[in-house]
Structure 1
Amino acid sequence: MTATGEELVAARGGPWWWDRRRGAVLDVGLAVASAVECGWEGVPFAREAGIPASVGVVFGLLAGSVLLVRRKWPIAVVLVGVAVTPAAMGFLLGIVGLYSLAASEVPRRIIGSLAGMQLVGVLVVMSVRLRQDLATEDVDVGDWLVPFASITTALGMTAPPLLLGLYVGARRRLMESLRERADSLERELQLLAERAEERAEWARGEERTRIAREMHDVVAHRVSLMVVHAAALQAVARKDPEKAVRNAALVGDMGRQALTELREMLGVLRSGGGGERRGERVSVPLAAVGVAAAAAASRVVEEGEGPCLSEIEELVGQSAAAGMVVDLSVVGEARSCAREVESTAYRVVQEALTNVHKHAAGARTYVRLAYRVSEIAMQVENEPPSGAVSSAGLPSGGNGLVGMRERVSALGGVFVSGPTDAGGFRVSAVIPVS
């Protein structure tokens, strides 16, 4: 992993105002070199000024050591360099100080002003000293030599450090900007990863609920009918062997149908989920689990042999074969709708009939299906059960009505359920088809 800009800044441990130790070592070395140079040049300066040589050396040492604070106070370093220019000392001090000033965050107008002061100072001092040296040695040269040498020396001591400092400062600011941008992008990517993980977790929860609902719809109805037929089989086994044989055949058929539907659903889920195939372990990223589950669960309805409204009569016939008195009425012209709409409508009727088997065995039941212009309406209503037979003794998980409501609501429909005034129970749903 790469370190971010904040981590790099935190890792710096230089003393005082230095960010790094190597920067402190460099500045100390430059300050020592500048102090030695100025101290050496302080001897002729003291001789010309008529002061003791020791004073000139101390003055040069103090002036050269100012380079130690070039990073913190670059303006002060340049001003000292300009001040000692008439004494013919501090050439290293002037060059490094001007470079440090140009590379700092000081406004450009201040940098230009101080660079101009240093340029003029070096130009004047070099012009005066060249004329004095030429006069002392009584050398006859052209008038062009002194201005040319003075201008060349001044530009050579001012322009290169100034331009180099401006370049380094601009590059440093660019690198800081890029580092800040990289830190910002890394934070955004981390936030996106967290949100993707949250979405994947939400998707996994939704698909677990959806798969559990599908399993409930597939198993509960078939098993409920099997229990009802098994009870009837037990009651008539000795009295009417032929009817017992028919009930046994129905139980076997329903069991096979339930297994077929379960195999189809699990087959689609298994084909969409990856996992292990023939001993080969497949590693799936955590964030992709929710996506794979969503795609697999969607194919259960879209690509699988899911139920449709044309099978409603067969569904009602199975309940009638189990002993339920059920009437089916269809209003409107039957037409094909989206697979998900038909599957949801079928499951609502199926679960409502299952609840009648569980809680009101023997009650007369009415199933109504209406095809409208832009919606499909269905209603399953049962009368109060007879006093002698009120329940088939089937367990109830309490999730049937909740699952129906979730299915219908997911398609933008309306679901209503509750007891009737006559003591029965009614389940109604309206699902839009467009």
Structure 2
Amino acid sequence: MTATGAEQHATGPTARAWLWWGRRRSAVLDVGLAAASALECAAEGVGFAEQAGLPVPFGVLFGLAVGSVLVLRRRWPIAVVLVSVATTPAEMGYLMALVGLYTLAASEVPRRIMATLAGMSLAATFIVTFVRVRQDVQAADYGAWYEPVTAVFLSLGLTAPPVLLGLYIGARRRLMESLRERADSLEQELSLLADRAEQRAQWARQEERTRIAREMHDVVAHRVSLMVVHAAALQAVALKDPQKAVKNAALVGDMGRQALTELREMLGVLRESGAAQVPRVKPVPLAAVGAAAAAAAAAAGDGPCLADIEALVGQSRQAGMVVEFSVQGEARGYAPEVEQTAYRVVQEALTNVHKHAAGAKVRVRLAHREAEVAMQVENGAPDAAGTAAPVLPSGGNGLVGMRERVTALGGVFVSGATDAGGFRVSAVLPDGARAA
């Protein structure tokens, strides 16, 4: 019988040095069994030579040769069993027959061949045993049933135990190999799952960093832009109109305090929910991860809503911007993440007007539809006064952040220049229940 795949894997290159044996212990065992079988057959060969009228040395040498065949039991178990069956009439090779039948039953030989050889061995043992018992009891009168019954019991006792034991050991060995292969497969799957989990965790961390950057941009950029605009106006009217300068200074202070308040609220939300959200990695698209993070951030704190857009427009008007604000449809409640995203879109659009089109007229539209809410911020071309406005830095991430927010909730975002030389930002967000 050849070495199994598990044995070859365990022994490695040493299997070639030991021929068909996978381990040194197996080779030593087979050589020892072959030596014991050769000695047994040599002793039994003396009686065989005397009965056949042959020289005793011939019988001894014949027994040694027959018994040594057992060393091949792992390589050619069928040949060992056939030799034992052929030598059964000579009443030698009992050890070889027992070990050969066991090895044959435990090997990967087809069951049909194994059953045929086991039947041949049983028949040969029965015939020889029947003849021997009949010769021994010729002088006694035990009845006609004694010889066949005794031969059946003896032949079954010599044939059935090694076959049954071999079948059990073979089934157990195959089960162990199957369990070992399954364990290896599970280990590979666990390693693959661990790699995928690490990748998803890395994606989630990257998405979380993107969300934090977007929140920082939305909270700080708008307030700071208005503060810069009011500071420029304060510098221009400080000597000419002290009362207006005082008013502008108060507006700058109020906006600074509002920016700090919103920043603290956002950081509080990140401390409370960020640690719980990042490890909970699931195999979902990054857009869905961003939507879930936005929903958690909106639900965890008192974020802005659609009702705050009017106050947002008022702040831009206080900074000197001409803003027309209109609402269509009946106002109703939406999911927190939908209202917060709508607010941030309008906020970022107004911030871009302060940065890039100072002095331009702006029109803000908000429409409540059957299953969605739409918003549009459109500004005209900046007038000559806008050229004197302070230049505000821009990171170029405003439109990208708005698009990510809207698409993460399943909405539509469109932005671009108008024919009149201005710029238009439009977004449509589905109702929170339908989006979920």
TM score, norm. by length of structure 2: 0.89
**What secondary structure is seen at the aligned counterpart in 1 of 2:396?**
coil
Aligned pair in 2 of structure 1 residues 6, 360: CA closer, same or farther (>3 Å)?
Answer: farther
| Whole-angstrom CA distance in 1 between matches of 2:364 and 2:295 | 28
Distance 1:287 1:429, change over 3 A: closer
Deviation of 1:405 after TM superposition, in Å, equals 1.4
Question: 2:299 corresponds to which letter in structure 1?
Answer: E
1:338 aligned residue: 335
Instruction: Give the count of matched residue pairs.
Output: 418
- Aligned-partner SS, 2:365: strand
The residue aligned with 1:10 is 9
Residue in structure 2 matching 1:399, options 392, 397, 400? 397
Q: Which stretch shows the higher mean deviation, 28-37 or 378-387?
A: 378-387
Is contact 2:130-2:147 (8 Å) kept?
yes
The answer to whether the aligner puts 1:95 opposite 2:98 as a matched pair is: yes
Q: Structure 1 residue 134: deviation in Å?
A: 4.9
Q: Structure 1 CA distance, aligned partners of 2:35 and 2:158?
A: 20
Could you tell me how far 1:145 is from its partner in structure 2?
A: 4.2
Output the CA distance in 1 between the equivalents of 2:107 and 2:40. 25
| Equivalent of 1:58 in 57, 61, 74 | 61
Deviation, 1:239, is: 1.9
Q: Which residue identity lines up with residue 395 of structure 1 in the other structure?
A: P
Q: Secondary structure at the match of 1:392?
A: coil
Residue in 1 that maps onto 2:318 = 321
Kept in 1: contact 2:226–2:316 (CA 8 A):
yes
- Could you tell me which amino acid in structure 1 is paired with residue 178 of structure 2? S
- Structure 2 spans left out of the alignment, 5+ residues: none
Task: Answer whether contact 1:359 1:392 (CA < 8 A) is retained.
Answer: no
- Aligned pairs for 1:29-48 (under 5 A) are 29-48=32-51
1:8 Cα offset (Å): 6.4
- Looking at structure 2, the residues matched to 7 and 69 of structure 1 have their Cα atoms a distance apart, in angstroms, of 21
Post-superposition CA distance 1:346-392 (Å, at most 9, x none): 11110010001001111111111122222222111112112243353
Counterpart Cα distance in 2 of 1:71 and 1:6: 14
Structure 1 residue 129: Cα displacement: 2.7
Q: Please give the alpha-carbon distance, in whole angstroms, between the structure 1 residues aligned to 2:110 and 2:238.
A: 104
In structure 1, the partner of 2:238 is 237
Give the counterpart letter for 1:364 in structure 2: K
Partner in structure 2 of residue 250 of structure 1: 251
SS in 2 for 1:412: coil
CA drift of 1:43 comes to 1.5
Q: 2:81 aligns with which of 74, 78, 95?
A: 78
- Within a 5 Å distance, the mapping from 1:300-379 to structure 2 comes to 300-379=297-376
Q: CA deviation digits over 1:24-66, x for unaligned, max 9?
A: 2211111111111111111121222222222111111111111
- Alpha-carbon contact 1:273-1:292 (below 8 Å) kept: no
Structure 2: how far apart are the matches of 1:292 and 1:337?
20
Shift of 1:68: 0.9
With over 3 angstroms needed to count, the CA separation of the structure-2 counterparts of 1:228 and 1:418, relative to structure 1, is: same
State the SS of the aligned residue for 2:384: coil
Distance of 1:270 and 1:344 partners within structure 2: 21
Q: CA deviation at 1:293?
A: 9.6
Question: Judging changes above 3 Å, is the alpha-carbon distance between structure 1 residues 163 and 297 closer, same or farther for their aligned structure 2 residues?
Answer: same
Q: Is the 8 A contact 1:379 1:428 kept in 2?
A: yes
Task: Spell out, residue by residue over 1:251-276, the C-alpha distance to the aligned partner (whole angstroms, 9 max, x if none).
Answer: 1111111111111111121123449x
Match of 1:267 in 2: 268
Shift, 1:6, TM fit: 7.5
Q: Does 1:49 align with 2:52?
A: yes
TM-score, with structure 1 as normaliser: 0.89
Supply the AA of the counterpart residue of 1:202.
Answer: W
- What whole-Å deviation, never above 9, does each CA across 1:397-416 have from its counterpart, x for those lacking one? 01111111121122222222
Q: In percent, how many aligned pairs have the same letter?
A: 69
Deviation at residue 111 of structure 1 after TM alignment? 1.6
2:245 aligned partner, one-letter code: A
**Pair 1:382 & 2:383 matched:** no
- Report the counterpart of residue 408 of structure 2 in structure 1: 410
Are 1:157 and 2:158 matched, yes or no?
yes
Q: State the SS of the aligned residue for 1:368.
A: strand
